[in-house]
């Protein structure tokens, strides 16, 4: 075993937190070389809802050369933290990637979770509807509800980094602050699911928060940030109800790539109520459902 493998977050998770190793059973596919893992993931049949599968994600190779997406509903993760990549002399910058534009795609995204009520209820609906989604989680919430985070992972949804605790003053004080918090959150998530997300969403969105220095720092560290182009407005201050969110999606989901903002944290019971109606509208409009990956087109 080389030095880098010895450092891998998968083993750290197994040694210190999860006796089975990273929150899911290790299989022959996971032990295989990365190229074989990617092939297995790409050729595997769609996982049955609720059935635990380990072919339901793609693991980036050490040089990221396998990140050309064949199926927009399969999440992509890295098995190494940034610290491990630096220590092992591996690249941290992603190669130029071809955006996935093969179908009319809707990306359901849920921020600020997990929690112990609404996120599981959303997972139940997604399972019933056979739809995959993306959860931009907070490190603080993930450490409070690790079993919900692990369920998101095991059911084949994508997990993205949404900072540790959504503190704008600290995050946007400097690029150094922002990157340090994202990296710490990465390491926490990696210890819970055995994988590091490559996708991020800046709390509040990058508009109005990022300048060129943030954008450059994100690229140098291989972070791919996605804001949204369709908002349910489920955090509006005037106590909106489920039908308001459905109407918002109905009015805004008109582009071929619809990245839809919702929230799965405590207090968003109306979002749970709205979700079946939102999915119905999107299906009637001919959308397929993807998960956000580094190859997902930017929403504008």
Smallest distance, Å, CB 205 to Zn ion?
9
Q: Considering the complex, what minimum distance in angstroms separates the CB of residue 185 from Zn ion?
A: 13
Catalytic residue among 78, 111, 112, 115: 111
* Bridge-based pairing state of the strands 58-59 and 230-231: unpaired
DSSP 20-80: TSTTS---HHHHS-HHHHHHHHHHSPPPPTT---SSSSEEPPTT-TT---S-TTS-EEESS
CB-based contact 255:101 (threshold 8 Å) = no
Give the tokens for residue 46: 């769609």
111 binds Zn ion (CB under 5 A): yes
- 256 catalytic per annotation: no
Q: What one-character-per-residue DSSP string does 63-105 give? A: T-TT---S-TTS-EEESS-HHHHHHHT---SPPP-----SS-E
Stretch that binds Zn ion, among 43-51, 53-61, 74-82, 109-117 (CB under 5 A): 109-117
Shortest distance, position 157 Cβ to Zn ion, whole Å: 17
Position of minimal CB gap to Zn ion:
111
Give the shortest CB-111-to-Zn ion separation in angstroms: 4
What mask, x for binding Zn ion by CB under 5 A, covers residues 200 to 229? Answer: ---x--------------------------
Half-sphere exposure (Cβ direction) of 2: Cα atoms closer than 13 Å: 5
Q: Is 71 a catalytic residue?
A: no
Q: Is 78 in the site for Zn ion (CB under 5 A)?
A: no
- Choice among 24, 80, 162, 263 that is catalytic: 263
Q: Give residues in contact with Zn ion (CB under 5 A).
A: 111-112, 203
Residues tagged active-site? 111, 263
């Amino acid at each position: 075993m080389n030095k880098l493998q010895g450092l891998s977050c998968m083993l750290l998770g197994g040694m210190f937190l999860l006796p089975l190793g990273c929150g899911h059973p290790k299989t022959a596919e996971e032990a295989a070389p990365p190229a074989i893992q990617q092939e297995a993931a790409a050729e595997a049949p769609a996982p049955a809802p609720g059935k635990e599968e380990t072919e339901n994600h793609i693991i980036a190779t050490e040089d990221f050369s396998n990140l050309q997406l064949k199926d927009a509903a399969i999440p992509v993760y890295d098995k190494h933290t940034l610290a491990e990549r630096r220590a092992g002399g591996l690249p941290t910058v992603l190669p130029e990637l071809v955006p996935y534009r093969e179908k009319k795609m809707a990306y359901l995204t849920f921020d600020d979770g997990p929690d112990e009520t609404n996120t599981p209820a959303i997972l139940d609906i997604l399972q019933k509807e056979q739809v995959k989604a993306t959860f931009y989680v907070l490190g603080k919430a993930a450490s409070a509800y690790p079993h919900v985070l692990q369920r998101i992972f095991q059911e084949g949804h994508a997990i993205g980094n949404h900072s540790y605790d959504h503190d704008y003053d600290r995050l946007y004080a400097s690029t150094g602050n922002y990157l340090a918090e994202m990296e710490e959150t990465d390491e926490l998530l990696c210890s819970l699911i055995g994988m590091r997300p490559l996708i991020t969403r800046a709390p509040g969105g990058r508009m109005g928060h990022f300048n060129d220095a943030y954008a450059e720092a994100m690229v140098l560290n291989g972070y791919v940030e996605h804001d949204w182009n369709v908002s349910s407005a489920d955090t509006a201050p005037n106590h909106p109800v489920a039908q308001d969110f459905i109407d918002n999606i109905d009015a805004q989901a008109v582009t071929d790539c619809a990245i839809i903002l919702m929230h799965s944290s405590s207090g968003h019971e109306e979002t749970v109520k709205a979700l079946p109606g939102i999915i119905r509208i999107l299906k009637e409009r001919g959308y397929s459902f993807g998960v956000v990956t580094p190859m997902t087109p930017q929403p504008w």
